[in-house]
Chain A
Amino acid sequence: QQQVKQSPQSLIVQKGGISIINCAYENTAFDYFPWYQQFPGKGPALLIAIRPDVSEKKEGRFTISFNKSAKQFSLHIMDSQPGDSATYFCAAMDTGRRALTFGSGTRLQVQP
């Protein structure tokens, strides 16, 4: 019940295209859903996060879509750039417990 399932495992997108990464969860106690970006040799860095009381949040080229009834959420990267090439992790948290449960990660490659 603690799992967060993430897909796809890897993604290749052309420069200027849209990258879409999907996640699904089971634990209804989760109430905070962040996305992290990780470059090789670095720690994960928060990209954008959402709470379940909203269905969408946009920050620049990054948008989270959230479907509470389906227990799914997704990250959309608009106008993808080569500098976006990294591994992306979705995560979920029960803010009463604070531990993040991570998806398995998506390796994004944006081709110039």
Chain B
Amino acid sequence: GAGVSQSPSNKVTEKGKDVELRCDPISGHTALYWYRQSLGQGLEFLIYFQGNSAPDKSGLPSDRFSAERTGGSVSTLTIQRTQQEDSAVYLCASSLSVGTGGETQYFGPGTRLLVL
């Protein structure tokens, strides 16, 4: 079956602009995660959605970052007033969340964001 898909694959924006990054999880996966991968900070957790529960936003670096998940499936990560330090690869992952192997997170290919 299809894996996690993300769009766009690359995004170049100007400092101060808003960007939206999209994630389509694996069908049937109830949990969805966003991570950021940058040279300076490595791979870091941003936010986690589980079903209809309130998301775990503990990894969001500032209030310029927000995410939503519509209908328990597709998720959008929004970065407002982008800064150059936001340049990174934004990775989405999904998991079954329950049952044997439910903790296994499957990653998408990422969106490479460059803020000029």
Interface on A for B, CB 8 Å cutoff? 32, 34, 36, 41-46, 49, 89, 91, 93, 95, 97-105
Contact = CB atoms under 8 A, between A and B. Distances in A.
A42 B109 contact: yes
Interface of B: 4, 31, 33, 35, 42-45, 48, 50, 56, 58-59, 91, 93, 95, 97, 103-110
A43 B91 contact: yes
Contacts of A100: 33, 35, 43, 45, 105
Contacts of A101: 45
B101 to A, nearest CB: 9
B56 A99 contact: yes
A44 B42 contact: no
Contacts, number: 56
Contact of B48 (A36, A49, A99): A99
A98 to B, nearest CB: 5
18 contacts: A42-B109, A43-B91, A43-B108, A44-B91, A44-B107, A49-B104, A91-B43, A93-B103, A98-B33, A98-B56, A98-B95, A99-B58, A100-B35, A100-B105, A101-B45, A102-B43, A102-B44, A105-B43
Contacts of B103: 32, 49, 93, 95, 98
A98 B50 CA distance: 10
Nearest to B9: A41
Among A36, A91, A99, which residue has the most Cβ atoms of chain B within 10 A? Answer: A99
